[in-house]
Amino acid sequence: MTTTSRQMIFATFIHNAGAHPGGWRFGEGPAQDLHEFAVYARLAQTAERGKFHCYFSGDAQGYHHISGSGAFSATDNAGKLEPTTLLAALSQVTQSIGLVSTASTTYNEPYAIARRFASLDHLTAGRAGWNVVTSATENEAHNFGRDLNMDHDQRYERAEEFVDVVRGLWDSWEDGSMIRDKAAGRYFEPAKVHALNHKGRHFTVSGPLNVGRPPQGHPVVVQAGGSEPGRALAARTADLVFTAQPSMEKAQAFYADMKARVRAFGRNPDHVKIIPSMQILVRPTEAEAKRDTQALLDLIPLELAIGKLEMLLGDIDLSGVPLDGPLPEVGLTNAGQWVQQQIIAMARDENLTVEQLARRVSVSRASFAMAGTPEQVADMFQQWVEAGAADGFSISPNYLDGNLDDIVDQVIPILQERGLFRTDYVDGTLRDNLGLPRPENMFVADPALGGEPDIWKPLRAAVQ
């Protein structure tokens, strides 16, 4: 294929012992212990060796019990370390790669999240990112004192306000506010510290944050919602948009829609990067790729595949539905509606049986999956970017022992030779590496916002 000057973005999304449900069983070695730091350190260092922009750690604050003891025991969800703690540790064994973590706006509070990610940004010298999600499962609700999860649209309404509060708290200390003047006995300049004094429908937050402004101004904000409220939130607030798209054509439509929405909010579309999730299997020949694809599929018990389909469709009950027949009529539930819509459309468009659909989505959900030679995979990446379907890709390894290494060692060099991917990091923050501007402080941009904590007014008067 011909080359282009457009540079791709690459992230890796680490999900359990592999995004493929059979991934933890694949290969000759023992299964990975997901409580061991060395597992994640090796993955982060592999991604950094490949000059990936981000290492992304997903999260959920609960254990989704898939019905049936056989299905339950065949999952590897039992190991899920708290991601910001993990990323802080990974920052000490990496130098340049961005470190992105999921944190829910449904079962957290803005002040705690603002403080957590500001701290991570300082500890990483500007490499932190926050993936904004709204919790979709009833299991999480049960862990936080609720019988039912919040309504879908209410979750996004809360998320809109949540993100605004967090960004305001990140701005509560101006750049240069901590002067650390030993002779004068002043650690900070009170005039450059601002109370947020937010009072909204969902939150009342005084501020200021008790952590200085992050090195990036704001850690990179990531959003992955595909529903109408999710797209609106991403277009207004996100720097990086993760998405699940089963085909290039659907990815093109999503890409065009999101760029138009970003423009409608008065933002520069080039400053919002869109990277679809993909599961890639690389082998020297097509025959080997086909063989190992089937080997992975054979490691998924049918009961698990059906259970995952039920979960992704919103915890519906498919018992009694013929597995060799079509998916029955399914309405949207209060769970993740974008994934539900994509799966239902996939079943109808491709005329899949329930069993075929279950095996398909248990592997890739609504994302694109491919198995092929290094050249074929590189060609596919190039085609998607040149067709306006993506700014880059989030790679979800099927299994942890070697899958990411194959992409880094065999596919990335081809892209680099074609001028499609960088050969080194730029010196600076994650924003610098993504080509994103550093946000201006809201209190500097609009001095009328003012605001200082009452307890600091005597100090300010004393130093004036």
Quote the mean pLDDT of the chain: 88
Domain boundaries, the chain: 9-287+367-463
User: Is 113 or 361 the better-scoring residue by pLDDT?
Assistant: 113
Please give the Cα distance from 84 to 314 (Å, whole number). Answer: 28
277 touches 251 (CB < 8 A): no
User: Is 391 or 60 the better-scoring residue by pLDDT?
Assistant: 391
**Cα–chain center distance at 322:** 35
Phi-psi map region of 428: left, alpha, beta (phi>0 left; psi -120 to 50 alpha)? left
In degrees and rounded to multiples of 5, residue 180 shows phi and psi of 50, 55
Q: How many CA atoms lie within 13 A of 79 on its CB side?
A: 17
pTM: 0.88
Please give the Cα distance from 400 to 411 (Å, whole number). Answer: 17
E strand or H helix at 48, and its extent? helix 37-49
Whether 460 shows a pLDDT value over 70: the answer reads no
Whether 137 shows a pLDDT value over 60: the answer reads yes
E strand intervals along 51-150: 54-57, 98-104, 128-133
pLDDT of amino acid 459: 41
83 touches 59 (CB < 8 A): yes
Please give the Cα distance from 30 to 390 (Å, whole number). Answer: 36
Determine the longest span between alpha carbons in the chain, in angstroms.
79
Mean pLDDT of 246-261: 96
E strand or H helix at 371, and its extent? strand 368-372
E strand or H helix at 276, and its extent? strand 273-282
Handedness of CA 279, 285, 287, 292 (dihedral sign): negative
Mean pLDDT of 221-241: 92
C-alpha distances out from residue 164 to 44, 351, 458, Å: 30, 43, 29
User: Is 153 or 408 the better-scoring residue by pLDDT?
Assistant: 408
Mean pLDDT of 292-321: 84
Beta strand 368-372 with 273-282 is: parallel
Q: How many CA atoms lie within 13 A of 137 on its CB side?
A: 17
pLDDT of amino acid 334: 64
Whether 463 shows a pLDDT value over 60: the answer reads no
User: Is 345 or 216 the better-scoring residue by pLDDT?
Assistant: 216
Q: What is the DSSP letter of 219?
A: P
pLDDT of amino acid 71: 60
Q: Which residues pair with 98 in a beta bridge?
A: 54
Mean pLDDT of 379-394: 98
pLDDT of amino acid 26: 85
Tally of CB atoms within 10 A around 84:
22
User: Is 269 or 227 the better-scoring residue by pLDDT?
Assistant: 269
Please give the Cα distance from 160 to 195 (Å, whole number). Answer: 20
Beta strand 128-133 with 204-205 is: unpaired
Mean pLDDT of 327-342: 74
Using pLDDT thresholds of 50, 70 and 90, give the confidence band for residue 458: very low
Amino acid 240 reads L
pLDDT of amino acid 38: 94
pLDDT of amino acid 402: 92
Using pLDDT thresholds of 50, 70 and 90, give the confidence band for residue 148: low
User: Is 160 or 154 the better-scoring residue by pLDDT?
Assistant: 160
Mean pLDDT of 255-270: 97
pLDDT of amino acid 247: 92
Please give the Cα distance from 410 to 408 (Å, whole number). Answer: 6
pLDDT of amino acid 464: 44
Using pLDDT thresholds of 50, 70 and 90, give the confidence band for residue 305: confident
pLDDT of amino acid 456: 45
Question: What are the residues whose beta carbons fall under 8 Å from the beta carbon of 83, sequence distance 6 or more?
Answer: 57, 58, 59, 101, 102, 103
Which range among 98-107, 145-154, 191-200 shows the weakest confidence by mean pLDDT? 145-154
Q: What percentage of the chain has pLDDT greater than the value 70? A: 88
Mean pLDDT of 287-291: 96
Per-residue pLDDT tens for 324-334? 888 888 777 76
pLDDT of amino acid 422: 97
E strand or H helix at 12, and its extent? strand 9-14
Using pLDDT thresholds of 50, 70 and 90, give the confidence band for residue 441: very high
Per-residue pLDDT tens for 203-226? 999 999 999 999 999 999 999 878
Handedness of CA 58, 63, 66, 72 (dihedral sign): positive
pLDDT of amino acid 313: 82
Domain 9-287+367-463 classification at class level: alpha beta
pLDDT of amino acid 363: 74
pLDDT of amino acid 318: 87
162 touches 110 (CB < 8 A): yes
Whether 264 shows a pLDDT value over 70: the answer reads yes
